[in-house]
Amino acid sequence: MLPFNKPYFTGNETKYIESAVSSGKISGNGDYTKKCQSFFEQNFGIKKCLLTTSCTDALEMAAILIDIKPGDEVIMPSYTFVSTANAFVLRGATIVFADSRKDHPNIDENAIEGLITSKTKAIVPVHYAGVACEMDTIMDIAKRHNLYVIEDAAQAIDSYYTGKDNVKRALGSIGHLAAFSFHETKNIISGEGGLLAINDEKFINRAEIIWEKGTNRSSFFRGEVDKYGWVDIGSSFLPSEIIAAFLWAQLENLEQIQMVRKNHWESYFDKLATWARENRIELPQLPDYASNNAHMFYLICDSLEQRTKLLDYLKQHDILAVFHYISLHESPFYDKLHKGGVLPETDRFTDTLVRLPLFYELNPNVVIDVLLKAAF
């Protein structure tokens, strides 16, 4: 069976882990952690980065940093992973779900403003498949209503948004805060892992404290205070150096990994174009303002029935393709709490989106050849 995903290893991961081990420092915030954080700061124009044990944890840090309190409302798409919402629910927030765009699972930027109330505290755009949300509009809404923007950039490493000012900005560098994932299904991996990106400088000091279990340990080691202690809420958000060492081996190879993934993506896109049109299947659409980081290649079927047929057909040919999120506003946990009305586009993507295998060692022609032989 051709898997949907296969983690790629550059070959240096265990070498760097051994080096961390032989340095005698394998708890968090060591040399590899600092190297990974600097890489993001320098390559993606982010003011300050902090590695976390998951993207979920980075989102939880963001929720703490913007002081989410019970009753606060947070606007986000319904077509996303549970952690996008749970991170804020854990702090007491009410989630207000917006619909997706017609052309893309990303949040419909024009659906946001109507959902804002006096309780709204933040907007959480999710860059689905690594494709940028319409950030100019979202940042403008946030500014006018005095809201925070937290980018869920879980899938969005090395992807960009070009706004009206014609400046190309990395995703994760635009909102006040952002969260990345290095889960094994992502382009760059560390098994489980994440990173908090801080673009609004006012959050930097407190973020370090929250990251270090609510202590001012970082200040202490910089000599800014003469003893360290409990100064705030917080958690153990920082990963082991073992994880950071693994991640560093991946980041060193970002360019190569991205090149290979983009080639696979382009193969899918070019070779499936005619077949897709003939079968009433949509290929991914990239808005002009968005780049492609080849995180995912998906198809939008014309119905749930067509998708089921397509998934079954691929399975019969030993290819594992998979659907994706189930609308959060219809989840067992949130369906009664949801007050945002019907979200038809979200439901459509829940029913019709299918993800094709995409990983470094893939030969996409294996999948393409099988698809081209069939009509749906």
Active site residues: 186
To a copy of itself, the closest distance from the beta carbon of 49 in angstroms equals: 18
> Residue 225 or residue 260: which is nearer to a copy of itself going by CB?
225
Count, residues near a copy of itself per rule CB under 8 A: 62
To a copy of itself, the closest distance from the beta carbon of 64 in angstroms equals: 8
Q: Please report, as residue ranges, which positions from 60 to 99 form the binding site for a copy of itself (by CB under 8 A).
A: 60, 70, 81-83, 85-87, 89-90
> Residue 5 or residue 43: which is nearer to a copy of itself going by CB?
5
Q: Which stretch binds a copy of itself (CB under 8 A): 8-16, 142-150, 251-259, 266-274?
A: 8-16
List residues bridging with 96 in a β-sheet. Answer: 75
- Whether 126 and 101 have beta carbons less than 8 Å apart is answered as no
Count of other CB atoms within 10 angstroms of residue 131: 25
Near a copy of itself by CB under 8 A: residue from 48, 127, 176, 183: 183
To a copy of itself, the closest distance from the beta carbon of 373 in angstroms equals: 28
Near a copy of itself by CB under 8 A: residue from 260, 322, 326, 368: 326
To a copy of itself, the closest distance from the beta carbon of 128 in angstroms equals: 17
Q: Which residues, at least 6 apart from 42, have a Cβ–Cβ distance to it below 8 Å? A: none
Q: How far apart are CA 29 and CA 17, in angstroms?
A: 14
CA distances from 270 to 314, 328, 353 (A): 19, 33, 19
Count of other CB atoms within 10 angstroms of residue 273: 11
Tell me if 332 contacts a copy of itself by CB under 8 A.
yes
SS3 143: helix
Count of other CB atoms within 10 angstroms of residue 304: 14
SS3 300: strand
Tell me if 108 contacts a copy of itself by CB under 8 A.
no
Q: Please report, as residue ranges, which positions from 232 to 261 form the binding site for a copy of itself (by CB under 8 A).
A: 232-236, 238-243, 246
